[in-house]
Amino acid sequence: MRGEQFHFVTQRSIRAIAVLTLLCASLVGAQPHASDAPEPPAQDPPASATPTEPAPSPTAPAAAPTTAPATKSGATVKGKLPIVPRKRPQVKEYGAQPAIKVEPPDVSMSVVWIGSGFPPIDGNSVPARTITQSGYQFRPEVTVIQSGTRVSFPNNDENYHSVFSLSDRQQFDVGRFVKGEEPAAKPFMTPGVVDLFCDVHDHMRGHIIVTDTPWFARSDEAGQFEIAGIAPGKHSVRIWVGPRRKLIEKEVELQEGQVLEVDWSSIDGSPSK
Instruction: Look up the CATH number of the domain holding residue 260.
Output: 2.60.40.420
Long-range contacts of 60-69 (CB under 8 A, 24+ apart): none
**Does residue 41 lie within any of the structural domains?**
no
**Does residue 195 lie within any of the structural domains?**
yes
d(CA 106, CA 111) in angstroms, rounded, equals: 14
Residue 38 three-state SS: coil
**Does residue 123 lie within any of the structural domains?**
yes
Torsion of CA 250, 256, 259, 261, to 10 degrees: -20
By DSSP bridging, strand 137-139 and strand 270-271 are unpaired
Q: Are 251 and 234 in contact (CB under 8 A)?
A: yes
**Does residue 6 lie within any of the structural domains?**
no
**Does residue 174 lie within any of the structural domains?**
yes
**Does residue 229 lie within any of the structural domains?**
yes
Give the number of domains in the chain.
1
Q: Are 141 and 105 in contact (CB under 8 A)?
A: yes
Q: How many helices (H) and strands (E) does the chain have?
A: 1, 18
**Does residue 194 lie within any of the structural domains?**
yes
pTM for the model stands at: 0.70
pLDDT of amino acid 154: 95
* Neighbour-count burial for 197-229, b at 16+ CB within 10 Å, e otherwise: bbebbebbbbbbbbbbbebbbbbeeebebebee
pLDDT tens, residue order, the chain (273 aa): 444 444 444 455 545 554 455 444 454 444 444 444 444 444 444 444 444 444 444 444 333 333 233 345 899 999 999 988 766 666 666 655 566 788 888 888 999 999 999 999 999 999 999 999 999 999 999 999 999 999 999 999 989 999 999 999 999 999 999 998 888 999 999 999 999 999 999 899 999 999 999 999 999 989 999 999 999 999 999 999 976 778 999 999 999 999 999 999 987 655 555
**Does residue 39 lie within any of the structural domains?**
no
* Neighbour-count burial for 71-84, b at 16+ CB within 10 Å, e otherwise: eeebbbbebbbbbe
Determine if the peptide bond prior to 127 is cis (ω within 30°).
Answer: no
Structural domain boundaries, residue 267: 75-271
